[in-house]
């Protein structure tokens, strides 16, 4: 099969009618296939058989792993608290209400052979448009996708990396720290940090700097930064609409002021006076002036942690996304009648698909409306 032309047959047959045949085929073959006599199109005049189904929670099938984790970082290893079943068992395809695809891990040669009537397919992606590849393949795949899920707030199922919820004196030796392994990112963050270092001390840990902090020690690096540095560069690899990651969420758990560089509307997601936005300054030199002033004024510096009295940080995992989908499944089931009739009295099947994105311009929405740009000290502040 040509990877740019996924061969997925969209069946106009309720998945409950094919479930027994599908399981039979799964038991006899490692791949999904139906012979022509097994799947028969139903005429509009033929009444649908009434087949009772067991009263079980809706199934959300994860067709792929997520990045380097088959279990979606453990999210499939414990029950949800929203009465849906999440599974990586592909033999449940015909039973699944939702099939979820993590785009980075999606192989167009390894798609389901069938898309059942009323089944919702969801595209999920957590990289920015600047780090989204296989654009032509995405355009083909989009024809089968009903819902879009990403970090963007205008997704059908937004999945930010985390959020901040309301709710000893340290002797610092250095000012600014940064842990980074992806060098020369499209955001221009390396250039910004290099320029900033002309006016204030900046220590860089990881592949892009001269200092090392063993990742095997878990949170050790963050504790080291907290006890030795006043500020931390939470610089994203892309400056795109709504894009922020664990780079800001993780550091909020520690007593160090994050300096953000990204495309998110930080004032809408973080408490007031909990961070410093690098892009709000005319240049890194002006940012350094503020940092030096704060370092010399303990009272002003400490004021950046007053938000911790009222808020706490919540890191997100994929159980939040699964329960978003589960909640939508329930609301659609409750609001849609089981059937309706046209003028001639013929029974019309109600669609239970969660979103109406099929054949919509996923590529245009993702790349053109992502509003990505890069910071540059040369010629102008931003390069589109």
pLDDT tens digits, one per residue of 88-135: 999 999 999 999 999 999 999 999 999 998 999 999 999 999 999 999
| Residue 164 domain flag | no
Task: Provide the residue count of the chain.
Answer: 384
The pLDDT value given to residue 305: 95
Residues 178 and 305 occupy one common structural domain: yes
Tokens describing residue 239: 């400056």
Domain end among 130, 158, 186: 158
Tokens describing residue 268: 């809408």
| Residue 199 domain flag | yes
CA–CA distance, 173 with 304 (Å, rounded to integer): 19
Average confidence (pLDDT) over 221-245:
93
CA–CA distance, 117 with 115 (Å, rounded to integer): 7
| Residue 325 domain flag | no
Do 149 and 155 contact (CB within 8 A), yes or no? yes
Judged against a pLDDT cut of 90, whether residue 17 lies above it is answered with no
Q: How confident is the model at residue 31 (pLDDT cuts 50, 70, 90)?
A: very low
Judged against a pLDDT cut of 50, whether residue 379 lies above it is answered with no
Residues 82 and 189 occupy one common structural domain: no
CA–CA distance, 328 with 316 (Å, rounded to integer): 19
Residues 190 and 301 occupy one common structural domain: yes
- Tell me the pLDDT of the chain averaged across its residues: 82
CA–CA distance, 229 with 221 (Å, rounded to integer): 12
Residues 80 and 198 occupy one common structural domain: no
Tokens describing residue 293: 């002033």
Average confidence (pLDDT) over 53-73:
86
What is the extent of the structural domain holding 301?
A: 174-309
Average confidence (pLDDT) over 60-68:
94
Residues 152 and 74 occupy one common structural domain: yes
C-alpha angle with apex 319: 233 to 156, nearest 5 degrees?
80
Residues 180 and 119 occupy one common structural domain: no
Judged against a pLDDT cut of 50, whether residue 291 lies above it is answered with yes
* CATH number for position 305: 3.40.50.11660
Question: Where does 3-95 show beta strands of DSSP type E?
Answer: 9-14, 59-62, 85-87
Judged against a pLDDT cut of 60, whether residue 327 lies above it is answered with yes
| Residue 49 domain flag | no
Residues 264 and 221 occupy one common structural domain: yes
Q: For residue 187, which phi and psi values (nearest 5 degrees)? A: -70, -20
Q: Which of 24-33, 83-92, 265-274 has the lowest mean pLDDT?
A: 24-33
The pLDDT value given to residue 51: 44
pTM (2 decimals)? Answer: 0.66
Angstrom distances, CA of residue 300 to CA of 110, 249, 280? 56, 22, 19
Tokens describing residue 343: 């003028």
The pLDDT value given to residue 214: 60
Judged against a pLDDT cut of 60, whether residue 157 lies above it is answered with yes
For tokens 């940080």, what's the residue? 313
Query: Is residue 247 packed enough to be buried (19+ CB in 10 Å), middle (13-18) or exposed (0-12)?
Result: buried
CA–CA distance, 350 with 92 (Å, rounded to integer): 22
Name the helix (H) or strand (E) containing 295: helix 284-295
Number of Cβ within 10 Å of residue 165's Cβ equals 11
Angstrom distances, CA of residue 86 to CA of 61, 79, 101, 160, 330? 6, 8, 13, 20, 15
C-alpha angle with apex 94: 93 to 100, nearest 5 degrees?
35
Residues 149 and 191 occupy one common structural domain: no
Q: How confident is the model at residue 353 (pLDDT cuts 50, 70, 90)?
A: confident
* pLDDT tens per residue, range 128-156: 999 999 999 999 999 999 999 999 999 99
| Residue 213 domain flag | yes
Residues 118 and 217 occupy one common structural domain: no
| Residue 324 domain flag | no
Q: For residue 99, which phi and psi values (nearest 5 degrees)? A: -120, 125
**Domains contained in the chain, number:** 2
The pLDDT value given to residue 190: 95
Residues 97 and 220 occupy one common structural domain: no
As a whole-number percent, the residues of the chain with pLDDT over 90 amount to 59
Average confidence (pLDDT) over 364-368:
93
| Residue 301 domain flag | yes
Do 326 and 354 contact (CB within 8 A), yes or no? no
Tokens describing residue 178: 């940064």
CA–CA distance, 363 with 137 (Å, rounded to integer): 10
Judged against a pLDDT cut of 70, whether residue 241 lies above it is answered with yes
User: What is the Cα Rg of the chain in Å?
Assistant: 25
Burial of 273-293, coded b for 16+ CB within 10 Å and e otherwise, reads ebbbbbbebeebeebbeebee
| Residue 362 domain flag | no
Residues 298 and 225 occupy one common structural domain: yes
For tokens 């102008």, what's the residue? 380
Domain end among 266, 284, 309: 309
Average confidence (pLDDT) over 334-346:
54
Domain end among 95, 127, 158: 158
Residues 186 and 301 occupy one common structural domain: yes
């Amino acid at each position: 099969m040509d990877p740019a032309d996924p061969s997925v047959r969209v069946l106009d047959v309720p998945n409950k009618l094919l479930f027994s045949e599908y399981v039979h085929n799964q038991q006899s073959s490692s791949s999904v296939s139906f012979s022509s006599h097994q799947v028969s199109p139903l005429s509009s005049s033929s009444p649908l058989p009434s087949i009772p189904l067991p009263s079980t929670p809706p199934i959300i099938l994860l067709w792929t792993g997520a990045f380097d984790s088959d279990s979606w970082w453990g999210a499939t290893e414990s029950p949800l608290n929203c009465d849906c079943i999440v599974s990586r068992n592909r033999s449940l395809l015909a039973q699944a209400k939702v099939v979820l695809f993590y785009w980075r891990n999606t192989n167009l040669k390894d798609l389901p052979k069938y898309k059942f009537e009323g089944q919702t397919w969801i595209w999920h992606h957590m990289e920015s448009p600047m780090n989204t590849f296989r654009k032509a393949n995405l355009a083909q795949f989009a024809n089968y996708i009903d819902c879009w899920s990403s970090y963007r707030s205008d997704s059908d199922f937004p999945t930010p990396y985390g959020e901040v919820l309301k709710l000893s004196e340290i002797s610092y030796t250095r000012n600014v720290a940064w842990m980074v392994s992806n060098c020369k990112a499209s955001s221009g963050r390396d250039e910004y940090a290099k320029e900033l270092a002309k006016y204030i001390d900046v220590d860089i840990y990881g592949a892009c700097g001269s200092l090392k902090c063993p990742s095997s020690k878990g949170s050790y690096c963050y504790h080291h930064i907290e006890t030795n540095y006043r500020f931390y560069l939470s610089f994203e690899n892309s400056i795109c609409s709504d894009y922020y990651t664990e780079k800001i969420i993780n550091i909020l758990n520690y007593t160090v002021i994050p300096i953000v560089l990204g495309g998110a509307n930080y004032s809408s997601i973080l408490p007031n006076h909990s961070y410093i936005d690098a892009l709000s300054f005319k240049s890194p030199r002006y940012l350094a002036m503020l940092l030096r002033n704060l370092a010399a004024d303990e009272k002003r510096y400490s004021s950046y942690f007053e938000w911790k009295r009222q808020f706490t940080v919540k890191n997100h995992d994929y159980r939040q996304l699964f329960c978003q989908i589960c909640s939508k499944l329930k609301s659609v089931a409750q609001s849609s009648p089981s059937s309706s009739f046209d003028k001639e009295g013929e029974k019309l099947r109600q669609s239970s698909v969660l979103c109406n994105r099929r054949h919509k311009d996923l590529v245009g929405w993702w790349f053109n409306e992502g509003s990505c740009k890069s910071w540059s000290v040369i010629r102008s502040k931003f390069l589109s």
